[in-house]
Amino acid sequence: MARHDSLFWKKAPFVKLLLALIVGIILQWRLQVGLYTWLIMLFVSFSVLLCFFLIPFFSRYRFGFISGFVTSIIFLSIGAMLARQEDIRNDKRWLGNLYQEKDALIVTLDEPPVEKTKSLKANATISCLVQNGKPIRVKGKIILYFRKDPAAGLPAGAKEKDGGADSTLQLTYGSQILFKKSIQEIKNSGNPGAFNYKQYSLFRGITHQVYLDKDEFELLDSKVENKIRKLIYKSRERILHILRKYITGDRESGLAEALLIGYKNDLDPSLVQSYTNTGVVHIIAISGLHLGLIYWLLALLLKPLQKRKKISWLRPVLIITGLWMFSLLAGAQPSILRSAIMFTCIVLGESLSRKTSIYNTLAVSAFLLLCINPYWLWDVGFQLSYSAVLSIIIFMRSIYNWFYIKNKILDFLWKLNAVTLAAQILTVPLSIYHFHQFPNLFMLTNFLAVPLSSAILLGEIVLCVISVIPAVAIPAGKMLSWLIGLMNTYIEKIEAIPFSLWDGLQISIGQATLLLLFAVAVSYWLMEKSTRGLKLGLLALLGFVAWRSYSFIQSDKQQKIIVYNVPRKRAIDFVNGRNFLFIGDSDLVTNEFSRNFYLKPSRVLSRTSEIIVPNNLSAYKNYLSYGDKHILLLDESVSFSQQQPRPSIDLLIFSGTPKVYLKKLAASLDIKQVVFDSSVPVWKAIYWKKDCDTLNIPWHDVTMKGAFVMKLR
């Protein structure tokens, strides 16, 4: 056992370095330690390591663990410093450190604007801010929203060039604009269990946003463009034009765009939900699956070069070139670039030495990626990509050997399913943690969807090549449209099967880690016949069961009030154990998207049943007694008169625009806490907040501070 462990670490030394780097990144993000602390640790560690090599050889061998420990500290410090460097907030020239509300900003669009329902959206880099008439160079990125002109579908405020109404000035990649409107810091909704959009944006270097209306910005004549990025966007537009021309049907065309180049703006939301619920959303999320297919195709086509020693070096060069060309063609998105680096390391590892450990190669690729951007560690795609590849490497061969099939076609289909099964072992805990659901029929969907989507992807590449010959491209496009329609229909049929989805699952990151540990330990026991692996696996499983049981017990005891942050809506949950009473706007009950986006994450986190109570309460519906608390829901329908003695109100919730003066209200009621929900207009809330401050009444505005949660027990 010890010999086997030692052999593994010798063959895959980068695994230890990668783990140390990851620990450093996590520590820096959690603790936000100063730079000098890590520099001191790095200097001391280097000094100890140098001194270690000065002692006699046999002593070095005896105390070898010291060098290993010190090396880990070195890479831990490096990881922490990389994380600190990547955090834009630590830069002295960061926008947030210098910006004042009266300043003007000059920004450069990093991408062509993307059309949304009521606006156009684009990410932009801050070129400089103009402060007191002087330009100041700053660093940072911002999200721009432009109000669309309803008539032209263009950003409001974009002016026409001289020469006619048809030559309309468009915002494109590289365009520079000047505006003086105040920018807003990106904030989270603050709803329990909600997606942390602020952290997600920060990891991409984006910290602020602004909505620009008519005449609030000026398009400058200058442009700042990168030739490679410009070529990428032009290539993408050309491919989109080809797909939209030859592939018929909006749903089919939208899926084709996502499948080939990851363009998701034309995807049907209901179709995306179907793919998610059936466990095949990875098909339309361009990543390792697509690049893996390209890698397989290139390796197959270039296999003859491997037999010729003089030009065998050409094979890895062409494979890597092909992988990166496809990555750039697909828009050079972070997910595809990560996969490109991973496969590049695998190709180099195979070509340089056949004895190279695949675990070491994967560790090297992950190490390089985290050096480029340490915060990719939190990216779901990064986590699932490496867990899937690692799971396939460990388990695929054993699962494939379950059955011996002579027929080559059936054997190929079983191999695909063996890959799918193997990938699930290590990805399931992460998928449940991130998405709170498990597709029970994933085998049925993957059985057809994976090979069919692979054929469609290859067909789209062929279509782009033959698009110059319309007579050939038209029937090819019709065939692809039929195949995509077939796949969509199959996915939706599977989704319609009862119990196809196990929804509402909730596990913590600690529980997910225990599940991963259980899977790895038991697999090690099965493969290496190690009783230590079995004991560790059972211990991890016991810990998971105990932890999960405790969380269920706590859920049964909970009692709390949640006032959600839903734009311009009233939404309140009264949670009692694993049930809840909902009071709020009716469209949050009927609108599935709004309910799932704003309310469902909190209910999954609380493990509450989705019991929606109609909003038709008694005549005294605005007064509620919950536990030992007295709650008043104040809206336009409520009026008051002076009362003696003054009733005690533990929680006063303002909704809409009730015609009341808080000072007069406080004379009638003994108010302990005030909450303004999202349906209260900003201008109205400002006056009430001033009254609260004057009366020394605590207040909470959910639009500013996120959801309000009052725990009763």
Q: For 96-110, give the secondary structure using H, E and C.
A: HHHCCCCCEEEEEEC
Q: What is the Cα–Cα distance from 178 to 220, expressed in whole angstroms?
A: 7
* 7-15: average pLDDT: 71
Mean pLDDT of the chain: 83
| CB-facing half-sphere around the CA of 466: CA atoms within 13 A | 15
Per-residue model confidence (pLDDT) at position 63: 65
Apex 100 CA angle, 96 and 103, nearest 5: 115
Token pair of 537 as six digits: 């696996």
| Nearest Cα residue to 382 out of 18, 110, 72, 12 | 18
- pLDDT above 50: residue 127: yes
Burial of 230 (0-12, 13-18, 19+ CB in 10 A): middle
pLDDT at 205 over 70: yes
Report percent pLDDT > 90 for the chain. Answer: 32
Closest Cα partner for 453 from 266, 646, 675, 252? 252
DSSP string, 30-94: HH---HHHHHHHHHHHHHHHHHHTTS-HHHHHHTHHHHHHHHHHHHHHHHHHHHHHH-GGG-TTB
User: Span 404-414, mean pLDDT?
Assistant: 81
pLDDT in tens, 571-622: 999 888 888 888 888 888 888 888 888 999 999 999 988 665 434 333 345 7
pLDDT in tens, 60-75: 666 667 788 888 899 9
pLDDT at 164: 37
Please state the rounded mean pLDDT for residues 283-307: 72
CA distance 152 to 325: 36
pLDDT of residue 479: 93
Q: What is the pTM of this model?
A: 0.85
Q: Is the separation of the CB atoms in 603 and 610 below 8 Å?
A: yes
Largest Cα–Cα separation, the chain: 100
Q: Are strands 699-701 and 623-626 parallel, antiparallel or unpaired?
A: unpaired
Q: How far apart are alpha carbons 682 and 674 in whole angstroms? A: 15
Q: Check whether the bond before 645 is cis (ω within 30° of 0).
A: yes
**pLDDT computed for residue 165 by the predictor:** 34
pLDDT, position 19: 92
- Give 389-392 contacts, CB < 8 A, sequence gap 24+: 389/288, 389/342, 389/362, 390/359, 390/362, 390/426, 391/422, 391/423, 391/424, 391/425, 391/426, 391/427, 392/419, 392/422, 392/423
Write the CB contacts of 158 (distance below 8 Å, at least 6 apart in sequence): 149, 168, 169, 170, 171, 219
The pLDDT of 322-338, averaged and rounded, is 73
Q: What is the pLDDT of residue 619?
A: 34
* pLDDT attached to residue 524: 77
Reported as a single tens digit per residue, the pLDDT across 228-266 is 788 878 888 888 899 999 998 888 998 888 888 777 888
Q: Does the pLDDT of residue 43 top 80, yes or no?
A: yes
Of the listed ranges 312-316, 400-404, 472-476, the one predicted with least confidence: 312-316
